[in-house]
Structure 1
Amino acid sequence: MIAPLFRRGRLALCVAALLSLVAGCDKEPTKLEPVKVDTYTKANWEELPVTSDADLLAGFTAWRSACARLAKDPVWAVTCTSASQVTEDAAAIRAYLKAQLEVYSLRSARNSPQGLITGYYEPVYPGSLERSEQTQVPVYGIPEDMVVVALDSLYPELKGKRLRGRLEGRFLKPYDDAATIREQGAKAPVLAWLRDPMDLQFLQIQGSGRIQLESGRQLRIGYADQNGHPYRPVGRWLVEQGQLKQEEVNMGSIRGWAEANPQRVPELLASNPSFVFFGLNPDSSEGPRGSLNVPLTAGYSVAIDRKVIPLGSLLWLSTSRPDGSPVIRPVAAQDTGGAIAGEVRADLFWGTGAEAGELAGNMKQQGQIWLLWPKGVALPNSAPAPAPGAKP
């Protein structure tokens, strides 16, 4: 959301201050580096690990669900138009993919095909539309005093970079960090009230969720904006404090530590200066909407690093569940996240509720990713960086 009240002349008065506010940028680097050409290593269809017909159909259907939004994208326009004619048959899908797309193995900066595959989900937490003795934790909408500036309006080399802050006179100062917002509140609408501050933290990490009201209704909320401060995993803080070992960090262990150390929860939360503001979503049984603004499909939608993989891309994923069982399937790049960075990196959406949360919270697997890219279309270079989310 770009603030419409800024005139170009007024913005120029404080642009020097804007560029110096590293904490207010979407990402810490102030310059986009082009992705190396060898990130995309040409491969053959025969090199892809075999998937089942059911997974092939589900992954293709998840990707095709975004074609209405991709129809005007020159990269996907032709491919999506022809995709609408493909029948729901595994043989027909395979023939279509081989005719339309080429295969590229993604490689890390060290030329390794292996990378990190994590998981996320849509949590459901108890709450209320009114503040009460049991519900004291506010879920904020977008603050009315937060200004968002697109830096590439003056500096094209900062394409995709945004700066968030608050006006003080003629100057833009960094917006409050998470600890300040929790202590002093925000000049923002309160969408709902939660019981546990850790519930809010996990909602912010996941980027969307549902609040279970006493009436039986589930209030659906999704990422709307962020305070401009960098996301720092609370699990990292626990490791640095010697409270958990690196291999022990997951949502369950973080939650367990918080329950055992309630007096230190404010300190834990303050270690992550990022704070997410939410918006209300329509009541629906569909999955939450990702950065591409299409409903996510459990098991077949992923969040990716947009500098490497453009939103809307079709990928081939080979990884495993936390129990070691294989996950080999096409998946759709339909979301992004502040902590999802790197060439061989994806966050697999597992669905809604406790069972999905168990999978997502324990998933920290090695895996490989192949980009399925339209024939005759130039490979991606440095796609614009997304607004920061807060997924782990």
Structure 2
Amino acid sequence: MTFHLPRLLPTKNICLSALRPFSITTFVLLVGCSQMEVDHSNDFTNNGRDISAFKRDTLYLKESLIPWLPYPDDSFKTGLEEQIKYLNRLPTERSYQLEETQVSVAELKSAIENLTDWLNNPSQQPELVAHQLAGQDNRGNVQITGYYVPVLSVRHNADDTYKYPLYRKPSQPDEKGQYPSREAIDFEGALDGQGLEIAYSASLVDNFFLHVQGSGMVEFEDGQRELLSWGGVNGHAYRSLGKELIEREEIDRADISAQSIRQWLKDHPDRVREILSTNPSYLFFSEGLSDPVGAANVPLTPLYSAAVDPSIIPLGAILLTEVPKLDETGNLIGHEFRLLLAQDKGGAIKGPGHIDWYQGIGEEARFHAGQLKQFGKVWLLLPKQASHEEQPEKALSEERLRKKHPIEGNN
């Protein structure tokens, strides 16, 4: 069974057209995903873009694996176990045609087996090949943003302070398959009286950023915490607030971040409706999960899970990533290699020029996610041999990942 996934080559406007349909949503304020049209809103000083890199005309460029893979901590092994569970739910014969590169579920499993052997014996180089992603500009430059799970203080019932609802998805859309717009819901009461309220927060802006994240922890007045997960969207086009504020010359593109947007909205309370309503897309929530879960329906691992466009990078893939290294003020001071797991997706993560790196839960994760907007490079790791042709159909053994590493403290 082969899924032919055409390469996405949209313009910037198309890239911004949908809110991320997934369990954990990206912190995406700037999106530059077209190879036909480079998004110059990302052209700020020291953005990490390598303009001297070799230009190619293929989605992936096959390369040798670097001899010094970054050794991850134990949480990466946990993430690999979840990756195995996801892949074992898929037909082994399934494959994805990514332009000239064909990737099968069996190959994704084989890559995990190779990496697991290396984790248990790091002196043995894994039998993997690195396929570099073309990036936004065909030079391998991939924007790496960050997302996180916020913790929001809420109440079960509305009062004078906690009066902004977080909603479940309505049962019936209109004749276009849409639900009311953001302005209609948040400012005109379009969902009032339908019993869709899950909880009430003290800030409409906090609600908006929870929508952007797509999922988050809420904490009620009695200390009870509950994870609200992605429960659907209203079907309206997504419009980035960061892009809107840049175009209006309210915030310089070099300064755009979650923090700067929040501060601008705090400083201009009389314009909150005007600006929030420029993004008509709206996200609804579902209840019941205890851990943040991505589009692969497995728990996300802080600093190792990533959201990708599955038509470019299959869910279940292992990525070698050159991620931005930032100082305490968010300035780029270099790059470092890191292994990431493709476990999530997003409507605003489109094409080969953008991935979203999961930072975790809470305020520290929010701070780090808000600083990420720079460029790095991404390689899809696959076995040297075509595993879908040479290996029998089998489920990966989760026990292999639980072996004790023979070298303690090797990080």
Runs of 5+ unmatched residues, structure 2:
1-13, 20-33, 37-55, 93-103, 328-332, 389-411
Quote the sequence identity (%). Answer: 30
Any idea what the Cα deviations from partners look like across 1:69-100, whole Å, max 9, x if unmatched? 211342334753895798686353685841xx
Q: Deviations over 1:202-258 (max 9, x none)?
A: 001111101121111112101110011121111111112221111111111111111
Alignment deviations for residues 9-56 of structure 1 (CA, whole Å, 9 cap, x no partner): xxxxxxxxxxxxx9xx959xxxxx9x998111111013x7x343235x
Does the 8 A contact of 1:321 with 1:359 survive in 2?
no
Mapping 1:14-29, distance limit 5 Å: none
Partner of residue 54, structure 1: 72
CA distance in 2 between partners of 1:298 and 1:65 (Å) = 13
Letter in structure 2 aligned against 1:76 = V
Whether 1:373 and 2:382 are equivalent positions in the alignment is yes
Residue 295 of structure 1 corresponds to which residue in structure 2? 299
1:257 aligns with 2:264: yes
Residues 117, 363 of structure 1: 8 Å contact kept: yes
The one of 354, 357, 360 equivalent to 1:348 is 357
Q: 1:144 aligns with which of 171, 182, 191?
A: 171
On the 8 A contact 1:120/1:360 being kept in 2, the answer is yes
Query: Does 2:109 match 1:80?
Result: yes
Q: Distance in 2 between matches of 1:306 and 1:360?
A: 22
Q: How big is the shift at 1:58? A: 4.5
TM-score (norm 2): 0.70
Q: For 2:238 and 2:81, how far apart are their aligned partners in 1?
A: 32
Give the whole-Å Cα distance in 2 for the aligned partners of 1:304 and 1:241.
29
| CA spacing shift, 1:205–1:92, aligned 2, 3 Å | same
Match of 1:92 in 2: 121
Where do 1:1-392 residues align within 5 Å? 38-46=58-66, 50-55=68-73, 58-59=75-76, 61-71=78-88, 72-74=90-92, 75-77=104-106, 80=109, 83=112, 90=119, 92=121, 95=124, 97-98=126-127, 101-108=128-135, 110-146=137-173, 166-167=174-175, 172=176, 174-182=178-186, 183-186=188-191, 187=194, 189-282=196-289, 284=290, 286=291, 288-323=292-327, 324=333, 326-374=335-383, 375-376=385-386
Secondary structure of the corresponding residue to residue 158 of structure 2:
coil
Change (3 A) 1:334 1:79: closer
The SS at the match of 2:58 is helix
Cα distance in structure 2, aligned partners of 1:189 and 1:298: 31
Distance in structure 1 (CA, Å) of the matches to 2:182 and 2:18: 15
Q: Secondary structure, in 3 states, of the residue corresponding to 1:244?
A: coil
- For the residues of structure 1 that align with 2:115 and 2:319, how far apart are their CA atoms? 18
What letter matches 2:293 in structure 1? R
Give the gaps of 5 or more residues in structure 1.
1-21, 28-32, 147-165, 379-392
Distance 1:128 1:346, change over 3 A: same
**Matched pairs, number:** 318
- Other structure's SS at 2:374 match: strand
Aligned-partner Cα distance in 2 for 1:37–1:73? 31
Indicate conservation of the 8 Å contact 2:79/2:341, yes or no: yes
SS of corresponding position for 1:231: coil
Structure-2 change in CA distance of 1:325 and 1:248 (3 Å): same
SS in 2 for 1:370: strand
Distance verdict in 2 for CA 1:94–1:306, change over 3 Å: farther
Q: 1:329-387 CA deviation, whole Å, 9 max, x = no partner?
A: 11001111122122132110000000000000111111000001244168xxxxxxxxx
Residue 106 of structure 1 aligns to which amino acid in structure 2?
L
Q: Give the letter for the 1:184 counterpart.
A: G
- Conserved? CA contact 1:106–1:368, under 8 Å: yes
Q: Cα offset for 1:321?
A: 3.4
For residues 362 and 123 of structure 2, what CA distance do their matches in structure 1 show?
33
Larger deviation, residues 262-271 vs 234-243: 234-243
* Aligned mates of 2:267, 2:214 — CA distance in 1: 26
- Conserved in 2, the CA contact under 8 Å of 1:63 and 1:314? no
Of the two structures, which has the highest relative contact order with CA contacts closer than 8 Å and spacing of 6 or more?
A: 2
Moved more, 70-79 or 173-182: 70-79
In the alignment, is the contact (CA less than 8 A) between 1:87 and 1:93 conserved in 2?
Answer: no
Q: Secondary structure at the match of 2:356?
A: strand
Taking the aligned partners of 1:93 and 1:281, their CA distance within structure 2 comes to 40
Q: Which has the higher helix share?
A: 1
TM-score by length of 1: 0.74
Q: Partner amino acid for 1:313?
A: A
